[in-house]
Amino acid sequence: MQNTIFKNFINNEWVESSSQKTLSSISPMNKHEVVGQVAASDVQDLEKAIQSAHEAKVQWRKLGQHARGQFLFKVADILESRLDEIAETMTKEMGKTLPEAKGETARGVAILRYYAGEGMRKNGDVIPSSDSEALMLTRRVPVGVVGIITPWNFPVAIPIWKLAPALVYGNTVVFKPATEAAVTAAKVMECFSEANLPKGVLNFITGSGSVIGQGIIDHPGIEAITFTGSETIGREVLKAAAAKGIKSQVEMGGKNPVIVTKDADIEKAVEGTISGAFRSTGQKCTATSKVIVEAPIYEAFKEKLLEETKKIKVGNGLQADVWMGPCASESQFNTVKEYINIGQEEGATLLLGGEVLDQQEYKDGFYVSPAIFDNVQPSMRIAQEEIFGPVIALIKVADIQEAIDVANDTKYGLSASIYTQNISSFLKFADEIEAGLVRINAESAGVELQAPFGGMKQSGVGSREQGEAAQEFYTEVKTIFIKE
């Protein structure tokens, strides 16, 4: 059992919560293992964090974009030096395999360096004025104090792709991670702490969502809020932000389809489907969830999919031969089990997997084998609702138009993929699919850090994240008119 306690980071000091109580982070690979403990903060701690951010925001803005970028370069170097340690903590804490955890941490380093480079890029434009003796220009200025709330599934990448642009564009931050991955987040924060940012610029606070998360959402001192997580909480963020008249950016998940046309390369389509659906145990907002296959190749695709899925080794993510780890928590484990039961009750055929693994090395973890359902109707819950687990719903269709119609038949619109060798099919798909991320002959999961990321419909509300698009959320445009 690990007794390490990770404190809050407020005004550049690591401090206990006012209550001095803690929350334990449990390993999903072994429910008897405590990875670490984090502060169980209350509203007094949150007030201190928000006040600290307000006191720091003027000087941080005045420091200048180039100087702020230099801090991010320092953080990137520190994170890179601790990559192996932080990746191992991530695997222990939320179950992701070690290679995936290392890849995510390396991505965090790359994101930091990308936004550090923003310190040398323009932050406005000169605009012609109708007055020939005047100069008119725009300047992008920070929003102020930004509240950041992140989920457990990407405990390094998602916080950093919010923190890095928030900071380089001149905002101060109050950051709350998900408790299930708060130890990993605390170690990321240690990298920022070691870089010696000015006091109060970045404040880290842990605690329950109902107290600290809701407190950030409701607090009048928060001047913008960015959230990734459940649809229920996302709607609370949107309502509160609208009531206060502040910016909000919300990503609430997806039900991501893959279409496989009759002329597709079946091996490539199966490989991409398995990776998109079962990497990270299906716990990605962009994970493949329903696979829509044209009738002429449906049986051949299904046979190959079953064959390759049977090869997946499930287990402890620290082991070199393990391909898929456990569900990240008991709660998520129970959700996946519930949806497997729902699929069977609705009349779908469970072709493979969906079994609770509880023997021998699995007995103390939250393990389930990857599941594949056949005879799925588009209206079934397993074809409509986000499961966030290793479950594929197979749907047979007659042609590309029916495939696109089925793919769009959901309230979500985050990512979508098609496997085809027909240019007409992928052009039609790219034009008609209702998703913010569209991928051709590639899995549904995955986006490059320099590209905008976000969803349509109920997957996301607000401006896009990552790449240059992040500037839209973290800054306001000030128009300046100058005349002698």
Residues with catalytic function: 251, 285
Angle, CA 444 vertex, CA 439 and CA 450 arms, to 5°:
65
**Can you name the residues that pair with 24 across neighbouring β-strands?**
37
Distance separating alpha carbons of residues 437 and 263, to the nearest angstrom: 23
Query: How many other CB atoms sit within 10 Å of the CB of residue 10?
Result: 24
Dihedral angle of Cα 104, 106, 112, 118, to the nearest 10 degrees: -100
The residue type of 455 is: G
Pairing of strands 30-39, 5-6: parallel
**Helices (H), ranges, 130-253:** 157-168, 182-194, 214-218, 231-244
Sign of CA dihedral 384, 388, 389, 390: positive
The residue type of 93 is: E
Calculate the CA 45 to chain-centre distance: 26
User: Tokens 């990298």 label which residue?
Assistant: 191
User: Tokens 């790449």 label which residue?
Assistant: 467
CA neighbor of 139 nearest in space, from 122, 116, 162: 122
Find out whether 62 and 29 touch, Cβ atoms under 8 Å: no
Distance separating alpha carbons of residues 338 and 135, to the nearest angstrom: 63
Sign of CA dihedral 87, 92, 93, 97: positive
Angle, CA 331 vertex, CA 407 and CA 365 arms, to 5°:
110
Beta strands in 223-358 (DSSP E): 224-228, 247-251, 256-260, 288-294, 349-352, 356-357
**Helices (H), ranges, 346-469:** 381-384, 400-408, 423-432
Measuring CA to CA, how many Å separate 16 from each of 193, 365, 369, 433, 483? 16, 30, 40, 49, 53
Dihedral angle of Cα 73, 77, 78, 79, to the nearest 10 degrees: 100
